[in-house]
Amino acid sequence: MADIDFLSPLHKATKRDYLARVNEFPKAEAIKIAKQYGYDYWDGDRKLGYGGYRYDGRWRVVADGLAKHYRLKPGDRVLDVGCGKAFLLYELTQSVPGLEVRGIDISEYGIEHAKEEVRPFLQVGNAVYLPFADKSFDLVISINTLHNLYCYELDKGIREVERVGKQKYIVVESYRTEEEKVNLMYWVLTGECFFSPEEWQWWFNHCGYTGDHSFIYFE
């Protein structure tokens, strides 16, 4: 199990005003709205979520990195747990023509408004139960999703990723300092698990996770 970072360039390219996030609009109300995972979360005001999550090609660099590292080839099967609008899955099909992709997400709105080229391969569902056979995917990815689960769900979610994937890659939000911890709690709207890297490592070991991982920090 290795710590492999494919996402930092994208994450660090975004400017964040942490204090504005909690001062300009009631945080509790924003969380309630965001957790509906509907229009407001994806395409509404920035204070409620993404502020307009539209395709712009930025995920191609991540797709290329995944394809190269995991040696993906035409005919391989890839599952994205928490695929959202499936921009990354689409980019994977461009990076590796002939790749077979599947995506699952809790958001009906996200699936309905996903990249149309891969929309037929997506379904609404929960990370705690993946309706796929054991080791049925050459690669399972879960990007910024599993930290949205409660602990009793997180255990199941990690074990499900492990079960259905031959290779696995999980990205979750974390913190290394008290400053990063506060920024994370200020900024994140849907998260339930706020763990340090050491705590995340404990979870991975506890669940028998053998794949790779990476952490997102709010510096």
Q: What is the CATH number of the domain that holds 78?
A: 3.40.50.150
Q: Is residue 65 part of a domain?
A: yes
Q: Note the pTM of the prediction, 2 decimals.
A: 0.95
Q: Is residue 163 part of a domain?
A: yes
**Strand spans (E) along 18-154:** 77-81, 100-105, 122-124, 137-143
User: Lowest-pLDDT range, 19-23, 72-76, 107-111, 196-200?
Assistant: 19-23
Residue 147 phi/psi, 5-degree rounding, is: -70, -5
pLDDT averaged over the chain? 96
Q: Which domain holds residue 211?
A: 8-216
Q: Is residue 2 part of a domain?
A: no
Q: Is residue 109 part of a domain?
A: yes
Residue 148 phi/psi, 5-degree rounding, is: -85, -5
Buried b (16+ CB within 10 A) or exposed e, 182-202: ebbbbbbbbbebebeeeebee
Q: Is residue 1 part of a domain?
A: no
At 12 the pLDDT is: 85
Residue 214, H or E segment: strand 212-216
Distance, CA of 148 to CA of 188 (rounded, Å): 10
Instruction: Tell me the pLDDT band of 15, cut-offs 50, 70 and 90.
Output: confident
Q: Is residue 99 part of a domain?
A: yes
Q: Is residue 12 part of a domain?
A: yes
Number of domains making up the chain: 1
Give me the sheet containing 165-173, strands edge to edge: 122-124, 100-105, 77-81, 137-143, 165-173, 212-216
Span 133-168, pLDDT tens digits: 999 999 999 999 999 999 999 999 999 999 999 999
Q: Is residue 3 part of a domain?
A: no
Span 27-73, pLDDT tens digits: 999 999 999 999 999 999 999 999 999 999 999 999 999 999 999 99
Q: Strand 100-105 and strand 122-124: pairing? A: parallel
